[in-house]
Amino acid sequence: MPKRVRTAVFPVAGLGTRFLPATKAMPKEMLTVVDRPLIQYAVDEAREAGIEHFVFVTGRNKAVIEDHFDRQFELEATLEARGKTQALDELRKELPSAGRTSFTRQQEPLGLGHAVWCARDIVGDQPFALLLPDMVFRAKPGVLRQMMDAYEETGGNVIGVEECAWEDVSSYGVVVRGEGTDTGFKIDGMVEKPKRDEAPSNLFISGRYILQPEIFTLLAEQTKGAGGEIQLTDAMQVLMQKQAFTGVKYDGKVFDCGSKLGFLTANVVFALDRDDIREGFLKELRNLDLEDHL
Ligand code: UTP
């Protein structure tokens, strides 16, 4: 049996420049899809997968994320006094228990690889999950849960992948698919933003990983790669020469909520998924007479 994955890392120190001015004073990860901040979706997904320790790599302006995962006594007292027990229960249920969250600062946004490296002392010498909170998934069971199932069989490193249109491969990191099935295949390589005719597959890495702690040593050794940032992909490519990487083509769909289009689409899809909102929302959409806007 491979070592259990108990810890998840959430890098939330990016500048979110694609979402300015919304992200000038507020972290991107607090943008809401319907009524939940992006970070809450990632934490819920991790919890469903059996994660017990939630590590946030934060930056400036991110204190609000810490507050989001804390108790809010004034609010709780008010909800209680007003008899809003359901809202109160929801709030309490969603909170990681005391002592199960850790926060560290990246200080400078030197890239995703650097943000992950900042979590090294908190994670220690154990495998960990990595979730990019701006990638929100519509998947049942959650994507990390599906990846854990593969990990329990194979151990090593696991990466969640999804098919994209071939004309979009140059926007993503894609994998070289080796032997195996969709629920667990060998990854023989990775290519960052390939040209369409040079792409080894259209399976892109969509922001969910299970990694072995040796990645930290490789991240520490790294110099800045593309865009002057310390790249996670570069470190994974080196680790791949020593350790197995398994791909999981999960059952589900990602919405890149770090981009305006992905975020807007996620809001529509998640609203339509909600029993308490669907009907009213459809009515509003129909009233809009969208034909006028198209
Ligand atoms: P992005 O590539 O979306 O970068 O980061 P970004 O800076 O947040 O946003 P844009 O591109 O400027 O709009 C993917 C994830 O990695 C984190 C981000 O917070 C996001 O969750 N990240 C990125 C860091 O924690 N630190 C960094 O230096 C860069």
Q: State pTM to two decimals.
A: 0.94
Cα→Cα distances 192→97, 144, 176, 234, Å: 38, 22, 11, 9
Query: Which amino acid type is present at position 25?
Result: A
User: How many Å lie between the centroid of ligand 1 and the Cα of residue 11?
Assistant: 8
d(CA 106, CA 122): 13
Domains in the chain: how many in total? 1
Beta-bridge mates of residue 129: 8, 210
Please list every protein residue whose CB sits less than 6 Å from any atom of ligand 1: 11-19, 28, 57, 106, 109-112, 114-115, 132-134, 258
Give, in order, the Cα–Cα distances in Å from 166 to each of 152, 170, 195.
Answer: 31, 8, 10
Does 128 reside within a domain?
yes
Question: Residue 289: its pLDDT value, please?
Answer: 77
Report pLDDT for 273. Answer: 97
The closest-lying atom of ligand 1 relative to the alpha carbon of residue 134 is 21
Inside any domain, residue 63: yes
**φ/ψ of residue 224, rounded to 5:** -65, 135
The SS3 assignment for 64 reads helix
Question: Do the strands 101-105 and 245-249 form a parallel or antiparallel pair, or are they unpaired?
Answer: unpaired
How does pLDDT run along the chain (294 residues), one tens digit per residue? Answer: 899 999 999 999 988 899 999 888 889 999 999 999 999 999 999 999 999 999 999 987 778 888 888 888 888 888 888 989 888 888 888 888 878 999 999 988 889 999 999 999 999 999 999 999 999 999 999 999 999 999 999 999 999 999 999 999 999 999 999 999 999 999 999 999 999 999 999 999 999 999 999 999 999 887 666 566 668 999 999 999 999 999 999 999 999 999 999 999 999 999 999 999 999 999 998 888 777 777
Tell me, yes or no, whether 2 lies in a domain: no
Indicate whether 56 belongs to any domain. Answer: yes
Write the CATH number for 110. 3.90.550.10
Tokens read off for 84 = 């809003």
Residue 291 lies in a domain: no
Note down the domain range covering 88: 7-286
Cα of 134 from ligand 1 centre, angstroms: 8
Question: Which two three-digit tokens encode residue 1?
Answer: 């049996």
**111 CA to centre of ligand 1 in angstroms:** 7
- 54 lies in a domain? yes
Looking at residue 224, its pLDDT comes to 62
